[in-house]
Amino acid sequence: MHYGRYFRGIIYCMEISSTINIQSLQNLYEKEKNEKEELRTEVMKLQLQLHKLTQIVFGSKSERFVVNTGQLRLDIQTEEAAPACKIADTKKVQYIKTDMPKKRDLSELSVYMQYLDRVEETREPETVPEGAIKIGEEKHESIETTPGRTFVRVVVIPKYKFVSDGKTGIISAAAPERPLAKCMAGSSLLAQILVGKFCDHLPLHRQMKRFERNGVSIPYNTFIDWTGKSIELLSVMGQALLKEIIESSYIHVDETGLKVLLGKESTKEKKIHGGYLWCYKNSIKNLVYFNYQAGLGEKHTIGILKKFTGVIQTDG
């Protein structure tokens, strides 16, 4: 009797399972899967919002996140929020300002100098006492240039010790003079820079690139420094040049307008004003002197032409 009920239950279950649609099970599975993905996405959004809120509340002032409602956002989970700093763990930092000038670092220039050709020159004293003993020597290096070649000129000056009338002395030749004190640039290099800038109209940065192609790297600030000091060195020749021009009985005089930047900016003054570069030329000796003035009036030329007697030609 019991077995009959058992077999009837099995037959009944088999009849019910046969009536279940396989496609319905598949649809139910896909539905559950999609709901799971949506819940997972929602959890990630909530985690991102919590992270941003943590940044606002606990983050340092420079790291706080401020929501910009006009900016589109990407729902990408970021890193964990940085922990709040502890004031007890901070250290006090003090700075002491000194007025000691910073020495220029010429190590970079010296590095490139070791790859240049070296031309040594030895300067002996005019007279070396008999029995003098060489005790050492000094070397003075400078960067020189010739057409198509840049090299290091090394002047070697031996030192000699001698004894005369029971007294010991040291003798050596005079050290070479430099155009600029404590400057590695020789006279030929400085002359080439000035000729390139003012005669060939080559800006300093182009000259610097040209030297680099020849294997010589000179910092741009050094180029500017050398140029400015060389101009100051040659400025004493200006008055001598002007004197020789004015002594002529026939000169050309003309002016060229140019825009000049004011050294001090002000709301009441223009930042740029018109200036004039006056040119005085001795055509016989082909000498030229330039003088800057702010205008065209007689007062801007009378100072130079006050002592001139002769013929002045202008405008061709």
- Residues (pLDDT < 70) of the chain are 1-21, 59-95, 97-112, 263-270, 316
- Using CA atoms, how far apart are residues 238 and 233, in angstroms rounded to an integer? 11
Q: What is the pLDDT of residue 195?
A: 92
Q: 238: left (phi > 0), else alpha (psi -120 to 50), else beta?
A: alpha
- Using CA atoms, how far apart are residues 218 and 212, in angstroms rounded to an integer? 8
Report residue 194 as tokens: 């000035």
Contacting residues for 113 by C-beta, under 8 A, at least 6 apart: 141, 143, 152, 184
Q: What is the pLDDT of residue 281?
A: 92
Q: What is the pLDDT of residue 9?
A: 60
Residue 185: beta bridge partners? Answer: 143
Q: What is the pLDDT of residue 8?
A: 61
Question: Tell me, what amino acid is at 177?
Answer: E
Per DSSP, 185 falls in state B
Q: Are strands 311-313 and 250-261 parallel, antiparallel or unpaired?
A: parallel
Its pTM surpasses 0.75 = no
- Using CA atoms, how far apart are residues 81 and 9, in angstroms rounded to an integer? 61
Computed over its alpha carbons, how large is the radius of gyration of the chain? 44
Taking only the tens place, the pLDDT of each residue in 140-190 is 888 888 877 888 888 888 888 888 877 888 888 888 888 888 888 899 999
Between the two ends of the chain, the Cα-to-Cα distance in Å is 141
Q: What is the pLDDT of residue 93?
A: 67
